[in-house]
Chains A and B, each alone.
Chain A
Amino acid sequence: MNMGIDFFILMKQEWAVMIVLFILLFIKVGSKDWTNENILNLVNILLLLNVIAGFFGYKEGILFNEMFKTNHLIATEKNILSLGTYIIALQSYPWLKNNKNILEFYILLLSTLLGMFFMISAGNLLMFYLGLELSSIPLAALANFDLDKRKASEAAFKFIISSAFSSGLLLFGISLVYGTTGTLTLSALPEHLYGSPLQIFAFILLISGFGFKISAVPFHLWTADVYEGSPVTVTSYFSVISKGSVIFVFMTVLYTAFKSYAVTWYNILFILSVLTMVIGNLFAIRQNNIKRFLAFSSIAQVGFILIGISGATQAGSASVIYFVLIYTFSNLGAFGVVGLVSAIAGKENMEDYKAFYKTNPMLSWVLAISLFSLAGIPPTAGFFGKFFLLMAGAGQGNYLLITIAALNMVVSLYYYLKIVKAIFMDSNENPVKKLIIAPSPKLALFICVTGIVLTGLISYVYNYIFSMSIGI
């Protein structure tokens, strides 16, 4: 097979996203007759095709001097992200229905997705940086998509500053790596990294940069404000897709380029994960705004993911990818309901959810199941995800970490149950009225709930991910 065909087949997921992007651009330039409904339906169909296309024609290989690499695992990671993006697109229907700038929204959204794809496939730190920037700059515009809201501008501004700062850290780290080793190719790095002080410094800078992107404590300070200010759809995109993609890359970089520093980063991950779980949980307890609450709870979830990464085995890397998939379903389920309440009833406080069950029983169950999954309660998939993450961590023999994590799960259960209590048990004189939901958000919630129920109980998904995963 010649280079030309490889060029298309190996990059098929990127091509698919680009085709969708171009179709949208042509519509934008070409015609003014499209109604909002038609555009939304078209986008949803295109994204569905994009998801389906991702599952065909797996092929391993490298392109452009190892700038771009792909294999089954990477393709699966991308599939998880496109699936999440599809769900988010379905969910944004009621919010975007009356918006004038729908096409811009999707063009920006898909550009970030494209950036993430390149980032995940990067075989070179430069390519990784390129993908990262492509994925984060449009995100700032998305955060400010509600142009008339001051909070949204604040969120966008905070995001662009913190994002620029962390990119700066990463870039500094990358340049030091290049300065001391003379290469930026991930697979060539281990033999050149021998632990000189400058390399350690570079390593710390890289970890801090990643810490910002996945909002691990103590690099989390931007998260809550950005999540609260952005539109719900964008918040869910931040917390699931954007975070998930950086986690995948973080894992790859640690496992391939820095495998000789395994002991060092194990200890760093240990400290980071304990801090992230504890602080995320403690702050989540105090929140009144449901978006801020989900922001802090998602910080705490990152703490658990870090434990899985620290496992550094095949089971560890499998459990991280598996968990991100489950987290996509659970968090998007929760955000889906929150987004509907916010878009239709305009309410975002925890008090507004009191007696929600009386008026919206189905939505209440969806929210409750998603929260149970986030808390790791069987039979939801979250239970399996958390169990396997901690199991991978326990393989290292650090039972202190596992005990802290297990007790943190109890703390997190407290605040998830607080919402369940508000929904089912509290009384409210002025509850959210019965919401009328369009078919596409319904479909999104249905996908989420199905995912939550089946991903865990049916072991095929985990076994499949495991069979492709690679440890150190």
Chain B
Amino acid sequence: MTLTLLILIPLLTALAVLLCKGLKQVRTVSLIGITAQFIFSFILLYVYWKGRASGNSSQFLFELNYTWFEPLKIHYHIGIDGISLSMILLTSFVVIAGVLVSWTQEFLNKEFFFLLLFLSAGAYGYFISLDLFTLFFFLELAVIPKFMLIGIWGSGKKEYSAMKLALMLMAGSALVFVGLLGLYFNTSLNGEHSFDLVEISQMHIDAGIQNIFFPFAFIGFGVFSALFPFHTWVPDGHSSAPTAASMFLAGISMKLGGYGCLRVATYLMPDAAHHYSPIIILLSTVAIIYGAFVTMMQKDLKYINAYSSVSHCGFVLLGIGMLTQTSINGAVLQMVSHGLMTALFFAAIGMIYSRTHTRLTKELGGLLKVLPFISTVFVIAGLCSLGLPGFSGFVAEVTVFMGSWENPDIWYRLATILACASIVVTAVYILRAAGTAVMGPITNNHYQHLKDAKWNERLAAGILVTGIVAIGVAPFWLYNLITPDTEYIIQHLGKALTLK
């Protein structure tokens, strides 16, 4: 079973797209490639399960370790555990939905699909990397396609947003870079340094050194995941991006950050994670509450979803900062759930916008009567966002809160209570947006003639809704998938504490 296929399939599809002529060929080729990828990730899930069931208890499965730059001890080392597998599944859901909603992308279609596929190859590569150099390589690989997607096909002040996004993300990865180099030069294995995630996790790095480099790594990855106060690229980037790019940004890119915070910063520098956990919790609580209140004031649907993403990604960082097993479980669940939910939300907004040519809530109204399918999807996404039981949002958020409450410290509990309270604010803005945009009388006669979703849009929404409901109704399969690995992380964190 070769994991490299996860990178190769989208990459080869992207190259094949370059040889095509016309939108029809381009989209067909992309869909074939991406469907193959979708099926491949399910096969991966099946094989992974079988491997675990047959008692394979090593930390990572399907490992491949190939020496890349021998003198610098840089390896192409890949492998997956439950956490990365859930991220891979998320990515394949979002990518296939993204390709489907871009079905009628006429303007520069070849370039558009090429960049989408290239971006997804970067994300897959990132999630399977076990070598910090490879991981960093794929992290940066995903920045420029986003810049191009927003700048060329975006709307509104697209150049500004694209530039802001690219620069902020690159600044984030510059910090990550310093953090990784700091780690590298303080590892020592028979006098050699190492970039290998597995090797580093088995070494003991001095707590003072961890305390220096943890902030670099955590803030750097945090920028990707909208860590307050480095979240300002999120609203501009998401609202200017074309629909598929918004879905990718919120659904996948922001997860790159959360995954990095957990896998690299927290896991490799456990002492520092304990040391800085109050600050992480403070910042993420601010992000949760601030994001929720700012969302209340937004009039543009895309801005509503973008700011609510800031708030929701705050839960991910809160879960990581709380450092209990349940809360980290919650963080991973929230990453998957938010990825699916926000992609669905952006897809629905994109469908509405392409028909009504407005995203302002006050100009919309009564869409449920003319666009029943799209409106239903929109409401489902909203309900998932506000944490209605039965959808994935509920499962994830409750797990985060339960995990947070396990910390007996009064300030931790206060942060938990405040974060819980933000749910109410979420309900306010979601219900208000749904109420004005979808319910009520039809405000514009022009809307009478709108046509409901086509097959590709139905399929895209259907795939994402399936994912959301599958987690919401039966969370145990995802939970069982990730629990052994979060347990591993927690043991590692605990070991660091007792060593002190």
A residues contacting B by CB (< 8 A) are 314-315, 318, 372, 377-379, 383, 387-388, 390-391, 394-395, 397, 399, 402-403, 406-407, 409-410, 413-414, 417, 420-421, 424-426, 459, 462-463, 466-467
Shortest CB distance A351–B (Å): 15
Shortest CB distance B418–A (Å): 33
Q: Is B494 an interface residue (CB 8 A)?
A: no
Assembled-state Cα–Cα distance A394/B193 (Å): 12
Q: Is B177 an interface residue (CB 8 A)?
A: yes
Assembled-state Cα–Cα distance A414/B148 (Å): 14
A377 near B71: Cβ-Cβ < 8 Å? no
B185 near A395: Cβ-Cβ < 8 Å? yes
Contact of B72 (CB < 8 Å), options: A391, A397, A413, A424: A391
| Residues from chain A with Cβ under 8 Å of B424 in the complex | none
Q: Is B300 an interface residue (CB 8 A)?
A: no
- Beyond A406-B175, A414-B163, whether A399 also contacts B143 by CB under 8 A is no
Contact of B140 (CB < 8 Å), options: A377, A394, A395: A377
Enumerate B122-143 residues with CB–CB distance to A below 8 Å.
133, 137-138, 140-141, 143
A397 near B71: Cβ-Cβ < 8 Å? no
A-binding segment of B165-173, B305-313, B357-365: B165-173
B167 near A372: Cβ-Cβ < 8 Å? no
- Beyond A378-B141, A417-B163, A421-B163, whether A462 also contacts B69 by CB under 8 A is yes
Secondary structure class of chain A's binding surface, majority of residues = helix
| Residues from chain B with Cβ under 8 Å of A378 in the complex | 137-138, 140-141
Most-contacted residue by chain A among B143, B171, B174 (CB, 10 A)? B174
Contact of A379 (CB < 8 Å), options: B133, B137, B143, B184: B137
Q: Is B147 an interface residue (CB 8 A)?
A: yes
Assembled-state Cα–Cα distance A463/B162 (Å): 37
Enumerate B38-68 residues with CB–CB distance to A below 8 Å.
68
- Beyond A378-B137, A394-B181, whether A413 also contacts B159 by CB under 8 A is no
A-B contacts, 13 of them at CB < 8 A, read: A377-B143, A383-B140, A391-B72, A395-B185, A399-B178, A406-B178, A409-B170, A417-B163, A420-B148, A424-B151, A425-B159, A462-B69, A466-B71
A315 near B137: Cβ-Cβ < 8 Å? no
Contact of A421 (CB < 8 Å), options: B70, B140, B159: B159
Assembled-state Cα–Cα distance A413/B240 (Å): 21
Shortest CB distance B494–A (Å): 29
B139 to A, closest residue via Cβ: A378
| Residues from chain A with Cβ under 8 Å of B151 in the complex | 421, 424-425
Secondary structure class of chain B's binding surface, majority of residues = helix
B68 near A459: Cβ-Cβ < 8 Å? yes
B171 near A397: Cβ-Cβ < 8 Å? no
A399 near B174: Cβ-Cβ < 8 Å? no
Shortest CB distance B63–A (Å): 20
Q: Is B158 an interface residue (CB 8 A)?
A: yes
Assembled-state Cα–Cα distance A403/B72 (Å): 20
Most-contacted residue by chain A among B140, B163, B178, B212 (CB, 10 A)? B178
A424 near B148: Cβ-Cβ < 8 Å? yes
Assembled-state Cα–Cα distance A159/B438 (Å): 70
Q: Is B459 an interface residue (CB 8 A)?
A: no
| Residues from chain B with Cβ under 8 Å of A406 in the complex | 174-175, 177-178
Q: How many A-B residue pairs have CB under 8 A?
A: 86
| Residues from chain A with Cβ under 8 Å of B185 in the complex | 394-395, 397
| Residues from chain B with Cβ under 8 Å of A318 in the complex | 71
Shortest CB distance A239–B (Å): 24
A422 to B, closest residue via Cβ: B159
Shortest CB distance A221–B (Å): 29
Shortest CB distance A129–B (Å): 34
Shortest CB distance A186–B (Å): 26
Assembled-state Cα–Cα distance A329/B184 (Å): 29
B175 to A, closest residue via Cβ: A406
| Residues from chain A with Cβ under 8 Å of B144 in the complex | 372, 377
Most-contacted residue by chain A among B72, B140, B166 (CB, 10 A)? B72
| Residues from chain B with Cβ under 8 Å of A466 in the complex | 71
A383 near B137: Cβ-Cβ < 8 Å? yes
Contact of B166 (CB < 8 Å), options: A379, A402, A413: A413
Q: Is B152 an interface residue (CB 8 A)?
A: yes
| Residues from chain A with Cβ under 8 Å of B143 in the complex | 377
| Residues from chain B with Cβ under 8 Å of A425 in the complex | 151-152, 158-159, 162
B186 to A, closest residue via Cβ: A397
Q: Is B182 an interface residue (CB 8 A)?
A: yes
Assembled-state Cα–Cα distance A390/B177 (Å): 10
Given contacts A391-B184, A410-B171, A421-B151, 12 further A-B contacts (CB under 8 A): A318-B71, A377-B140, A377-B144, A390-B181, A394-B182, A409-B170, A409-B174, A420-B147, A420-B148, A426-B159, A459-B74, A463-B70
A388 near B72: Cβ-Cβ < 8 Å? yes
Shortest CB distance A164–B (Å): 40
Assembled-state Cα–Cα distance A187/B261 (Å): 50
Shortest CB distance A122–B (Å): 28
Assembled-state Cα–Cα distance A261/B137 (Å): 36
Contact of B174 (CB < 8 Å), options: A397, A410, A463: A410
Enumerate B325-365 residues with CB–CB distance to A below 8 Å.
none
Assembled-state Cα–Cα distance A315/B70 (Å): 11
| Residues from chain A with Cβ under 8 Å of B162 in the complex | 421, 425
Assembled-state Cα–Cα distance A348/B204 (Å): 56
| Residues from chain A with Cβ under 8 Å of B70 in the complex | 459, 463
Shortest CB distance A387–B (Å): 8
Shortest CB distance A307–B (Å): 12
Assembled-state Cα–Cα distance A379/B122 (Å): 10
Assembled-state Cα–Cα distance A426/B151 (Å): 9
* A-contact bits for B63-104, CB 8 A (1 contact / 0 none): 000001111101000000000000000000000000000000
Contact of A403 (CB < 8 Å), options: B74, B152, B178: B178
Enumerate B177-220 residues with CB–CB distance to A below 8 Å.
177-178, 181-182, 184-185, 212, 216
B152 near A424: Cβ-Cβ < 8 Å? yes
Assembled-state Cα–Cα distance A466/B181 (Å): 19
Contact of B170 (CB < 8 Å), options: A410, A426, A463: A410
B193 to A, closest residue via Cβ: A395
Assembled-state Cα–Cα distance A414/B174 (Å): 14
Assembled-state Cα–Cα distance A388/B177 (Å): 12
Assembled-state Cα–Cα distance A413/B173 (Å): 12
Most-contacted residue by chain B among A390, A391, A394, A403 (CB, 10 A)? A391
B158 near A315: Cβ-Cβ < 8 Å? no
| Residues from chain A with Cβ under 8 Å of B152 in the complex | 424-425
A358 to B, closest residue via Cβ: B108
3 smallest CB-CB distances across A and B, nearest first, come from A406-B174, A466-B71, A394-B181
Contact of A414 (CB < 8 Å), options: B69, B133, B167: B167
Assembled-state Cα–Cα distance A467/B69 (Å): 12
Most-contacted residue by chain B among A390, A395, A406, A463 (CB, 10 A)? A406
Contact of B181 (CB < 8 Å), options: A314, A402, A410, A420: A402
A407 near B171: Cβ-Cβ < 8 Å? yes
A408 to B, closest residue via Cβ: B174
A393 to B, closest residue via Cβ: B181
| Residues from chain B with Cβ under 8 Å of A388 in the complex | 72
- Beyond A383-B137, A417-B163, whether A463 also contacts B71 by CB under 8 A is yes
Assembled-state Cα–Cα distance A410/B175 (Å): 11
Assembled-state Cα–Cα distance A11/B188 (Å): 43
Shortest CB distance A86–B (Å): 27
Shortest CB distance A13–B (Å): 26
B110 to A, closest residue via Cβ: A361
* A-contact bits for B239-273, CB 8 A (1 contact / 0 none): 00000000000000000000000000000000000
Assembled-state Cα–Cα distance A311/B158 (Å): 41
B133 to A, closest residue via Cβ: A387
Assembled-state Cα–Cα distance A216/B143 (Å): 30
